């Protein structure tokens, strides 16, 4: 049994990740701004990040929604992620970060460009931290069942992806060293068969050295 901390583990994708890990027999700690119940920890990435939340963890997942306000988005999505990355590097804990598409082309969505830019700085802080990491960039999320996936790199695509499929990818990445040091986008693909994550991860290019 391993122990995982899921930051945003009470959210719609986070809950799916938490459920999968718990069903796999692992201990899961849900880090939330408003923790409820057992196996939860209080964490607000807009404030200080208490390293004790991650003590004893074998893996960290971060799946949080950026604040709308650009300054708050910078605090949470850049500096908050950077703080977690520094703890993960120091304690040698792998991190899977849920990000989004459009990270390299914020001008395509001016209404959220500043949030995307803050998020891009958070991605880069994780890459530069020295922590072992995987960055999963979902396209537009939906709650229908997973129906096959397409994995891409380079952030050029458009589309939608099931939250179930994102959760599957995140959990697979936590256990698969071939996902380490890689960033990829996820899209629904009804044409594809059941994903074989380890083959998909192995085929991806590693990120350039940060
Ligand atoms: N919506 C889309 O189409 C789309 C597309 C691509 C990527 N994404 C990304 O995919 C991820 C999952 O999305 P979702 O819609 O499933 O998420 P969600 O249901 O909106 O949940 C997001 C979680 O973020 C946590 N959070 C927000 N601010 C926080 C803070 N300052 N400190 C700690 N936790 C904070 C919240 O946790 P508490 O309230 O418990 O603190 C919440 O449970 C997010 O990163 C999202 O940005 C979304």
What is the secondary structure of 29-66 as a DSSP string? EEEESS--SSSEEE--TTS---GGGGTT-SEEEE--PP
Whether 207 is covered by a domain: the verdict is: no
Q: Whose CA is nearest to atom 40 of ligand 1?
A: 32
Instruction: Please work out whether the CB of residue 158 comes within 6 Å of at least one atom of ligand 1.
Output: no
**Percent of the chain surpassing pLDDT 90:** 94
20-60 pLDDT, tens digit per residue, is 999 999 999 999 999 998 999 999 999 999 999 999 999 99
Closest CA to 171 of 33, 32, 6: 6
Kindly state the DSSP code that residue 201 receives in the 8-state scheme.
H
The percent of residues above 70 in pLDDT, for the chain, comes to 100
- Per the domain annotation, does 143 fall within a domain? yes
Give the domain CATH number at 87: 3.40.50.720
Tell me the pairing of strands 3-7 and 149-152: unpaired
Q: Which amino acid residue places its CA nearest to atom 47 of ligand 1?
A: 65
Locate all alpha helices (DSSP H) within 25-162, ordered by sequence.
70-73, 81-91, 113-128
Ligand 1: which of 6, 10, 11 to mutate, judged by most atoms within 8 Å of the beta carbon? 11
| 209 burial level (CB within 10 Å; 0-12, 13-18, 19+) | exposed
96 lines ligand 1 (CB under 6 A): no
Q: For residue 209, is it within any domain?
A: no
The answer as to whether 92 is a domain residue is yes
In the prediction, which pLDDT does 48 show?
Answer: 92
Query: Counting atoms of ligand 1 from 1, which one is nearest the CA of 45?
Result: 32
Distance of alpha carbon 39 from alpha carbon 210, whole angstroms: 34
How much is the CA Rg of the chain, to the nearest whole Å?
16
In a domain, 208, yes or no: no
Number of domains in the chain: 1
- Per the domain annotation, does 210 fall within a domain? no
Tell me: the pLDDT tens digits for 120-163? Answer: 999 999 999 999 999 999 999 999 998 899 999 999 999 999 99
Q: Is residue 123 part of a domain?
A: yes
Q: Rounded to the nearest whole angstrom, what is the distance from the C-alpha of residue 172 to the centroid of ligand 1?
A: 20
Torsion of CA 56, 89, 182, 15, to 10 degrees: 40
Residues 175-186: what's their mean pLDDT?
Answer: 98
User: Domain of 117?
Assistant: 3-202
Please check whether residue 27 lies inside any domain of the structure. yes
CB 123 within 8 A of CB 106: no
Average pLDDT over residues 178-193: 95
pLDDT of residue 55: 97
Testing ligand 1's pocket by substitution, the residue of 7, 53, 65 carrying the most ligand atoms inside 8 A of its CB is: 65
Cβ of 98 closer than 6 Å to ligand 1, yes or no, is: yes
Q: Where are the alpha helices (H) located in 142-196, listed in sequence order?
A: 163-175
């Amino acid at each position: 049994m391993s122990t995982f901390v899921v930051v945003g583990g009470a959210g719609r994708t986070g809950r799916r990740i938490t459920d999968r890990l718990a069903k796999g027999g692992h201990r899961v700690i849900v880090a939330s701004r408003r923790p409820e119940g057992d196996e939860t920890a209080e964490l607000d990435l807009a404030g200080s990040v208490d390293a004790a939340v991650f003590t004893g963890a074998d893996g960290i997942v971060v799946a949080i929604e950026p604040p709308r306000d650009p300054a708050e988005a910078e605090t949470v999505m850049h500096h908050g992620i950077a703080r977690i990355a520094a703890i993960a590097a120091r304690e040698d804990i792998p991190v899977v970060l849920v990000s989004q598409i459009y990270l390299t082309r914020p001008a395509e969505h001016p209404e959220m460009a500043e949030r995307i830019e803050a998020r891009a700085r958070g991605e880069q802080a994780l890459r530069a931290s020295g922590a072992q990491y995987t960055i999963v960039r979902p396209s537009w999320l939906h709650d229908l069942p997973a129906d096959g996936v397409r994995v891409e790199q380079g952030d050029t695509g458009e589309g939608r992806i099931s939250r179930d499929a994102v959760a599957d990818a995140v959990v697979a990445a936590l256990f698969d060293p071939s996902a380490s040091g890689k960033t990829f986008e996820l899209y629904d693909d009804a044409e594809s068969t059941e994903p074989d994550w380890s083959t998909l991860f192995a085929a991806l290019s590693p990120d350039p050295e940060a």
